[in-house]
Chain A
Amino acid sequence: MKSIILTTLVSACAFVTAHAAEIGKPAPAFTAKDAKGATVSLADQKGKVVVLEWVNFDCPFVKKHYGSGNLQKLQADYTAKGVVWLTISSAAEGKDAYVEPSKLGELASSKGSKASHIIADGDGKIGKAYDAKVTPHLFIIDKEGKLAYNGAIDSKATTEVADVDTADKLFANAADAVLAGKTVENAKNQPYGCGVKY
C-alpha cells in the first residue's frame, strides 16, 4: 500500500523548469520521486556530474545495450567515479512501453541496472524539458549544472550486440571529458533508438 501511495506521487511531484536544454547552458531543473520513493532534485546534485539515460526495456536498441551488459557496465563504472546516474522512462500511461512506476524499479533491477535512481516520468515533463527523443538517449550535466552532452550512446545505430565493442564510444568519451574538466568533443549528436512514447 505504501508503495502505491508513493508512486502516485511520482507524476504529481515531478516539477520542471520551462527553458529548453542547450549545451553549455544550465540544464533544466527537475524534482521527481524515484522508484523507491526518494526525492531526486537536480538542484541537489550541484558539484556532481549527472547522467540522464532514457529507457524503454522493450526497445531493441535498449535491449542491445542491456543484453550486452554495456549499459550496466557504464552505470557501474561512472557511479563508482561519483556520477549520479538517473535512468528515466517517459512512456505515458496507456502506451505499450509504459511500466507502472511501482514496477519500473523492479524491472530495472531484473536487468542488472546499476543506476543511482530509476525515475518514472509518466507525464513526460522531464523528457520534454530535455527533448529526449529516443531510447537510449543520453545527457550529461556537469558539476556546475550545465548541460555538457546530448546524444547517442555510441556511433553504431544498429540493434546488433556485436556492434557494441566496435562502435565509437560517444557517450563514454564525453563522460570522461566532463569528469576530467575538459571540453566535450561532439557534445551534441543524433541519438539513435526507438522514439520515446510520450
Chain B
Amino acid sequence: MISAAACLASHAAVRSGKAEADWISTSATYEAGRPFQTAVRLVVDEGWHTYWRNPGEGGMEISVKWELPAGWTAGDLEHPVPKRFMTGDLPGFGYEGTVVFPVAFTPPAGFAGEATLKGKISWLTCNEANCVPGNAELVISARPGAPESTPAAKTISEALAKVPRPLPAVTLTVAEKPETLLLSIKNSEDKSFDPKNFDIFPETRQIVDAAASYTFVKEGEEWRTEVKKSEYLTPPLTSLTLVLAGKNGRLPHTVTWKSE
C-alpha cells in the first residue's frame, strides 16, 4: 500500500487540474538540527486563481500533508500577500500566476544519511465559470552536508520577502459595534506611518466582511476605520490579524489584536 504513493510522488513538477506544482529547496543538503528551507510552488493557468489562507467567500486554502523522516518537524506553510478578486458575486483573496509558499523543516540533532521528505498537496483553482481541484504528491531529497545552494534558492528568498511578518511597533485595537468593527492602528515608533501606504487584508476568517474596504482617517495618534462585520462572525470576538501589504517596495507586515 505504501508503494502507490511513493511511486507516484515526484521530484519534478506535477500538472493537475489547472495548475502545475513543484517543491523546491534552498539547499541540496541539510544540516542536522538546523532549518531546511523549502517552498511549494504553484503555477496557476492563465484565467484561473487559487486561494489564500483566508479564501474569502467560497474557494479553498491550499492544504498539505507531510510525510517526514523520523524526528523531522515541519514549520507553517507560509502564505505571501494575496490579491483581491471577485468570482461571480463572491469576494475572494488569493493568487494568480506563480505563487510560492515557503515552508521550513527541521531535522533532529544527530540525524544522518539521505533524507526523503514527501508532501501531499491539494489546492483549488476557480475562474468565473468553474472550480477545478488539483493535487500532487511531491518529494524532496537532501544529503547531509554544508549548505549547497540550488538554482531555486533565489526564488525562495524572494518568496520569503513577500510573506508578511509581525511588526511589533504597530498595534491594532478592535471595538465591536452592531454592524461594524472599529479598527484603530497605531505605530508607536514611526510618526510617518500611514495605512494608505498599505493594502489591507483580513487574515483571520469570518471577522471582517470579505468585501470591506479600509479607509483610514487619522485621529490623534491613531488611524481609524470602520469596516462591515462578516455576517458569519460568531461572538465572542477574540482576535483579528490583518495583513498590511506595503506598496512601493515596503515590506508586508501582520498586526494582531487579541481581546483582554
Which of these binds chain B: A28-36, A138-146, A153-161, A169-177? A153-161
Nearest B residue to A190, CB-CB: B232
State whether the Cβ of B112 lies closer than 8 Å to any Cβ in chain A: no
Q: Is the CB of A188 within 8 A of B129?
A: no
A60 CA to B50 CA, complexed, in Å: 14
State whether the Cβ of B132 lies closer than 8 Å to any Cβ in chain A: yes
Interface size class of A (residues with CB under 8 A): 20 to 34
Which residues of chain B are near A160, meaning CB under 8 Å?
A: 122
State whether the Cβ of B192 lies closer than 8 Å to any Cβ in chain A: no
State whether the Cβ of B138 lies closer than 8 Å to any Cβ in chain A: no
Which residues of chain B are near A189, meaning CB under 8 Å?
A: 232, 234
Q: Is the CB of A192 within 8 A of B130?
A: no
Nearest A residue to B92, CB-CB: A195
Which residues of chain B are near A157, meaning CB under 8 Å?
A: 60-61
A194 CA to B61 CA, complexed, in Å: 13
Number of B positions contacting A (CB below 8 A): 23
A160 CA to B130 CA, complexed, in Å: 17
Q: Is the CB of A188 within 8 A of B231?
A: yes
**What number of residue pairs across chains A and B have CB atoms under 8 A from each other?**
60
Tell me, rounded to whole Å, the shortest Cβ–Cβ distance linking A157 to chain B.
6
Which residues of chain A are near B60, meaning CB under 8 Å?
A: 157-159, 192
Tell me whether chain B's interface is mostly helix, strand or loop, or mixed.
loop
A59 CA to B90 CA, complexed, in Å: 15
Q: Is the CB of A96 within 8 A of B57?
A: no
Which residues of chain B are near A159, meaning CB under 8 Å?
A: 60, 122, 124, 133
A188 CA to B61 CA, complexed, in Å: 21
The 8 A CB mask of A180-198 against B (1 = contact, 0 = none) is 0000001011101111111
Q: Is the CB of B58 within 8 A of A158?
A: no
State whether the Cβ of A133 lies closer than 8 Å to any Cβ in chain B: yes
The 8 A CB mask of B187-210 against A (1 = contact, 0 = none) is 000000000000000000110000
Q: Is the CB of A97 within 8 A of B130?
A: yes
The 8 A CB mask of B79-97 against A (1 = contact, 0 = none) is 0000000011110000000
State whether the Cβ of B157 lies closer than 8 Å to any Cβ in chain A: no
Q: Is the CB of A192 within 8 A of B58?
A: yes
Q: A190-B57, A193-B58 are in contact. List 18 more A-B contacts (CB 8 A).
A: A59-B130, A59-B131, A60-B133, A61-B131, A133-B58, A133-B89, A157-B60, A159-B124, A186-B234, A188-B231, A190-B205, A190-B206, A194-B126, A194-B130, A195-B88, A195-B90, A198-B88, A198-B89
Top 8 A-B pairs, shortest CB-CB distance: A96-B129, A194-B131, A190-B232, A195-B88, A159-B133, A195-B90, A60-B133, A195-B58
> Which chain B residues have a beta carbon within 8 Å of chain A's beta carbons?
57-58, 60-61, 63, 87-90, 122, 124, 126, 129-133, 205-206, 230-232, 234
A-B contact pairs, 14 of them (CB 8 A): A58-B130, A59-B131, A61-B131, A96-B129, A97-B129, A133-B57, A133-B90, A157-B60, A157-B61, A188-B231, A190-B230, A190-B232, A192-B58, A196-B89
> Which chain A residues have a beta carbon within 8 Å of chain B's beta carbons?
58-61, 95-97, 133-134, 157-160, 186, 188-190, 192-198
